[in-house]
Structure 1
Amino acid sequence: MKKEEAVLRLTEIIANFVGYTGKVLPDDVKAKLRELGAQEETPLAKIIYEAMFKNQELAVSLDRPSCQDTGAIQFFLQCGSEFPYLAEMEQILHDAVVKATQEAPLRHNSVETFDEYNTGKNVGKGVPSIFWDIVPGSDELSLHTYMAGGGCSLPGKAMVLMPGEGYEGVTRFVLDVMTSYGLNACPPLLVGVGIATSVETAALLSKKALMRPLGSHNANERAAKMEALLEDGINQIGLGPQGLTGKNSVLGVHIENTARHPSVIGVAVNVGCWSHRRGHIVFDRELNYTINSHAEVAF
């Protein structure tokens, strides 16, 4: 396959995948919603979950996005240094977003800051957001797609704590964010927590945490225990589905961390709403692909 043909093929696949993820939730998210819905006891909470499931059915049958806010598109790449289309990827992702916006369709959510001009294509200065990790020697592309809606972006917060505040300070920070802004993000939420040195490193980790499969745990035993404790604590707040009270407030809590400077603890929170529209697709150098987030789909 000539490079020009391959670039067009890759653009088409990614565009179709982005559009698809706006209509069909990942398998693990759908399974978790069914699990949480079955645990609710109040009539209102049960009705809300039933509406969520009906929403998903209609999105498929009507071939329309499951939420009006299809977000600002974000991409997280683990791209091999030997992947043959590395140099073209930024333009491919840009063009894929334009194509998905037209064909899915996706709501126009890219407004040029200061100019207050909606581009009408979901692209603009720095949009879509592209976060790169280059994998030396690999010839594969692992791509996570994410629709960062306004509601689930609103609770995003980062700060640097004094080291004496310790992990109790991290817990207090996370719970303060959840009790202040969690209602606005359409619970039950997936809560991503980043712990590092500075606000920007912690913030990126907290967003990467949202790309992990539900039910996965931090490899560090202490961090995994903190994930469980935070999940239990946030559930006890009782936000419930759509913030109208209930037994469960979260889909899960994921912590990602790096080493940090001994004098500070950088911490950040990002959340995904119940309609957590992420996707994961992996390409080899021949553009054969595997979709890990959604079963039985091909483009």
Structure 2
Amino acid sequence: MDKQDAVQSLTDTMAKFTAYIGKHLPTDVERKLAELRARETKPLAKAIYLSMAENQEAANRLDRPSCQDTGVIQYFITAGAGFPLLGELGDVLAEATRRATIAAPLRHNAVETFVEKNTGTNTGSRIPWLDWEIVPDDDGVTIDVYMAGGGCTLPGSATVLMPGQGYEGVTDFVFDVISSRGVNACPPLLVGVGISTAVETAARLSKKALMRPIGSRHPDADAAMMETLLEAGLNEMGIGPQGLTGTDSVMGVNIESSARHPSTIGVAVSTGCWAHRRGRIRVNPDLSYRIISHEGVTL
């Protein structure tokens, strides 16, 4: 396959996958929602969970997006340095977004700043947003596709704490964010927490935390314990589905962290709504692929 044909093949795959995840929730999210629905005790909350399940069944059956806000398209790329189309990947994903916008269809959510004009293609300056990580000694690429909604993920919050505030300060910040705006973010939420050295690094990590499967744990034992404790504490708030109270508030809490300057603790919180539309695909150098996030799916 020559390079032009390879680019076309990869673009077709990513356009189909991007369109697909707007309509079908990943396997871990579906399972978690079923778990929360089964243990819910309040009649109204249980009815809302049933409505969510009916909504998703209709999206699957009618081949339509799960939510009217199909978000800003973001791609989180873990690319092997030897992937043969590494240099073309940015253009491939932009074109895949344009095609998915028509094929799905996806709502037009790219407005050029200052121009104040919707592009109509879900592409524009630095949109779709590409987050890059290059891995040596690898010739494939893993791509997380995410639809970042205007009511849930995009209004994230970040700050820098003084070191004396410690992990108690991190906990306070997480609770402040969820208690102040979690009701409006279409709970139950997947909460991504980034702990780092500055607002920009913490914010990036909080978003990458949302790409992790529900139920996964941070490799550090103390961080994993903090994930568990935050999840339990947030659930005690009883925000419930769509913020109308219930047994739980969140689908889970994922923390991503980095080393930091001794004088700062950067912390950020990003949230994913109950219709957490993300997908992970692994593309091999011969452009064969495996969908990781949705079990048993081929395009």
TM-score (norm 1): 0.99
User: 1:67 aligns to what SS in structure 2?
Assistant: coil
Distance 1:183 1:196 in 2: 26
Question: Which consecutive unaligned segments of at least 5 residues does structure 1 have?
Answer: none
The answer for the alignment partner of 2:84 in structure 1 is: 84
For 2:93, give the aligned amino acid: L
Deviations 1:162-215 (A, max 9, x none): 000000000000000001010111000000000000000000000000000111
Distance 2:126 2:77 in 1: 16
Change (3 A) 1:240 1:156: same
The answer for the alignment partner of 1:255 in structure 2 is: 255
Contact map agreement 1:142 1:282 (CA 8 A) in 2 = yes
The answer for the alignment partner of 1:160 in structure 2 is: 160
Pairwise CA distance, 1:153: 2.4
The answer for the alignment partner of 1:150 in structure 2 is: 150
User: 2:142 aligns to what SS in structure 1?
Assistant: strand
The answer for the alignment partner of 1:20 in structure 2 is: 20
Contact map agreement 2:42 2:247 (CA 8 A) in 1 = no
For 1:109, give the aligned amino acid: N
The answer for the alignment partner of 1:264 in structure 2 is: 264
The answer for the alignment partner of 2:126 in structure 1 is: 126
Distance 2:256 2:296 in 1: 30
**Residue 76 of structure 2 corresponds to residue 70 of structure 1:** no
Cα RMSD, aligned residues only: 0.7
Distance 1:162 1:73 in 2: 34
Pairwise CA distance, 1:154: 4.7
The answer for the alignment partner of 1:292 in structure 2 is: 292
Contact map agreement 1:155 1:178 (CA 8 A) in 2 = no
The answer for the alignment partner of 2:229 in structure 1 is: 229
Distance 1:77 1:134 in 2: 8
The answer for the alignment partner of 1:52 in structure 2 is: 52
User: 1:153 aligns to what SS in structure 2?
Assistant: coil
User: 2:132 aligns to what SS in structure 1?
Assistant: strand
Pairwise CA distance, 1:242: 0.4
User: 1:95 aligns to what SS in structure 2?
Assistant: helix
Contact map agreement 1:19 1:105 (CA 8 A) in 2 = yes
Aligned identity (percent) is 60
Question: Which consecutive unaligned segments of at least 5 residues does structure 2 have?
Answer: none
Pairwise CA distance, 1:155: 4.0
Distance 1:243 1:202 in 2: 26
**1:183-222 correspondence runs (5 A):** 183-222=183-222
Contact map agreement 1:238 1:249 (CA 8 A) in 2 = yes
Distance 1:155 1:285 in 2: 37
Distance 1:161 1:41 in 2: 38
Deviations 1:61-114 (A, max 9, x none): 111001000000000001011100000000000000000000010000000111
The answer for the alignment partner of 1:43 in structure 2 is: 43
Contact map agreement 2:73 2:97 (CA 8 A) in 1 = yes
Distance 1:47 1:148 in 2: 26
Pairwise CA distance, 1:296: 2.0
User: 2:107 aligns to what SS in structure 1?
Assistant: coil
**1:96-111 correspondence runs (5 A):** 96-111=96-111
Distance 2:272 2:204 in 1: 14
User: 1:131 aligns to what SS in structure 2?
Assistant: strand
The answer for the alignment partner of 2:242 in structure 1 is: 242
Distance 1:93 1:183 in 2: 33
The answer for the alignment partner of 2:95 in structure 1 is: 95
User: 2:210 aligns to what SS in structure 1?
Assistant: helix
User: 1:173 aligns to what SS in structure 2?
Assistant: helix
Contact map agreement 2:189 2:271 (CA 8 A) in 1 = yes
Distance 1:157 1:239 in 2: 19
Pairwise CA distance, 1:137: 2.1
Contact map agreement 1:143 1:281 (CA 8 A) in 2 = yes
Distance 1:116 1:40 in 2: 44
Distance 2:111 2:129 in 1: 14
User: 1:94 aligns to what SS in structure 2?
Assistant: helix
Contact map agreement 2:231 2:250 (CA 8 A) in 1 = yes
User: 1:150 aligns to what SS in structure 2?
Assistant: coil
Deviations 1:30-51 (A, max 9, x none): 0000000111111101110000
Distance 1:166 1:72 in 2: 34
The answer for the alignment partner of 1:61 in structure 2 is: 61
TM-score (norm 2): 0.99
Pairwise CA distance, 1:236: 1.0
Distance 1:160 1:3 in 2: 46
Structure 1: 4+ residue segments shifted above 6 A: none
Contact map agreement 1:211 1:278 (CA 8 A) in 2 = yes
